[in-house]
Structure 1
Amino acid sequence: MDEQVDRLVNKTWAKHQQTPLSKRLLIAVSGIPGSGKTTLAARVTQRLNALWLEQNAGLGSGPRMATFLPMDGYHLTRAQLSAMPDPNTAHARRGAAFTFDAPAFLELVKKLRKPLSAETRTIYAPSFDHAVKDPVAEDLPIAASSRVVVFEGNYLSLGTGAPEWKEAAGLMDELWFVDVDEDVARRRLIKRHVMSGIAANEEEAARRADENDLLNGRDIVEGRLEVHEMVYSREDDEWGPEKQGIVEERGG
């Protein structure tokens, strides 16, 4: 994994150096549930910031140049799911593309695409509170100093379904897709669901993976747009759920 991360960091750093000061570099990392996209996006962001600090040592603990931005916060709320024509299916399939607020996500991307200037202010994105199982509005800051934004989510290279997904993908500078064998993803998902307490045991976790996560995964693969980078996630500890720093109920 480290070799792939190093290559992507070097590529992103070089592209950032060539990007006008008035523009952000937007990168979208997508993949099926359990692919390891969160691990990849977080590590790339961390290493970009470490590299930036190395070259700007005098700035100490000042603002960073890269922001990691998961799309978990764009889950529809439980109340919104309950208001759908078929609330039982909506809740059971939470994590499918139709259970996300695609228009709101597109609005955020459009804000981040606006030219940077002295008047640019911090933009806030929603996060997801796993304790209450709902989004938290305006919780994740994207500072004016953030020149690179690394998005992470299942549907960031989706060309089907709600048109906002494809439009948002078209506004990105880079689309990366984390490719993984479905059996590997399934084993990771089972482990993750038990670790997080979403499932009481492996049998329940397997049912959740088969009846929701991997169904969504097939839609993601079948509807994927052409991407700039295919990243290959192998069956090793570096890509496992304990390395992702999250235990979640989500499809983002």
Structure 2
Amino acid sequence: MEEQVKRLVDKVWNKFLKTPKDSRLLIAIGGVPGSGKTTLSQLVTAALNARYAAASSPPSSGPPASSASPIAAFVPMDGYHLTRAQLSAMPDPATAHARRGAEFTFDGEGFLRLVRALREPLTPTSGAIFAPSFDHAVKDPKEDDIAVLPEQRIVVFEGNYVVLDKEPWRSAAALMDERWFVDVDFSVARKRLARRHVAAGIAATLEEADRRAVENDLPNGEEVVRLRLDVDEVVSSREDGTWVHV
């Protein structure tokens, strides 16, 4: 594991060990589009689950460590995209569709409700709490597709606006135990976004994909940087995919 990721995992793990048994540890990882925040979030989540499995492992004669239930859940913000039907119902549907991915095209109140639900104390009768995912095939959210189980006491949130100094994102961020920001040079993000848009079928060519990045994604990123809340960690994502603590 890269040293920077290990440092973050160590920090979360030590904080988790001090977290009351009836509480969850909530982490928000924000950044501009194409910053690498999804990759970092998934790396941290997987490493935490591996750490928990190792700590829960019985003697070598027992079942393998992988039998331990995951302690960490990964919840991307993508599921809170407004649907295409909701965008079409806006006063200026053409702009709404063209700017999909901008802050106003997300259900921030729905995200806040999720965070509040996960902040509630855990009890013996606590059940799963569900979040939406984003179905790239139909290009709309899929309701109740991500289950956060009672035993998953670490939740890693990821998204453009999870540390945005604007309501309702500000209220959701205030409920987090850790707030991180993934920094990146906009030229690096631009290249990543163009490749991603072609791979996802959002654009047919790299030229079209680059135009979308310049006209929509990067302006959204400028808002993310301009309205960033104070955070606990800033991690820089390099062009070669490595991480640097800022």
Residues 65-76 of structure 1 aligned to structure 2 (within 5 Å)? 65-76=71-82
SS of alignment partner, residue 8 of structure 1: helix
Q: 1:212 aligns with which of 211, 216, 229?
A: 216
Task: Give the Å deviation of 1:197.
Answer: 2.1
Identity between Structure 1 and Structure 2 (%): 60
Aligned counterpart, 2:105: 99
Aligned counterpart, 2:186: 182
The number of aligned residues is 237
Conservation of the 8 A alpha-carbon contact between 2:53 and 2:68: no
1:232 aligns with 2:225: no
1:84 aligns with 2:90: yes
Task: Give the Å deviation of 1:57.
Answer: 1.6
The CA deviation string for residues 143-190 of structure 1, in whole angstroms up to 9 with x for no partner, is 000010000000000003xx1110000000010000000011101111
- Matches of 1:238 and 1:198 in 2, distance apart? 27
Where in structure 2 are there 5+ consecutive unaligned residues? 59-64
1:40 aligns with 2:40: yes
Conservation of the 8 A alpha-carbon contact between 2:57 and 2:68: no
TM-score (norm 1): 0.92
Q: 1:140 aligns with which of 138, 146, 149?
A: 146
TM-score (norm 2): 0.94
- Aligned-residue RMSD, C-alpha: 1.2
1:110 aligns with 2:84: no
Aligned counterpart, 1:28: 28
Conservation of the 8 A alpha-carbon contact between 2:128 and 2:147: yes
Stretch deviating more after TM superposition (89-98 or 58-67): 58-67
Task: Give the Å deviation of 1:193.
Answer: 1.3
- Matches of 1:139 and 1:237 in 2, distance apart? 29
In the alignment, residue 127 of structure 1 is paired with which amino acid? Answer: S
**Larger Cα-atom Rg:** 2
Task: Give the Å deviation of 1:62.
Answer: 4.0
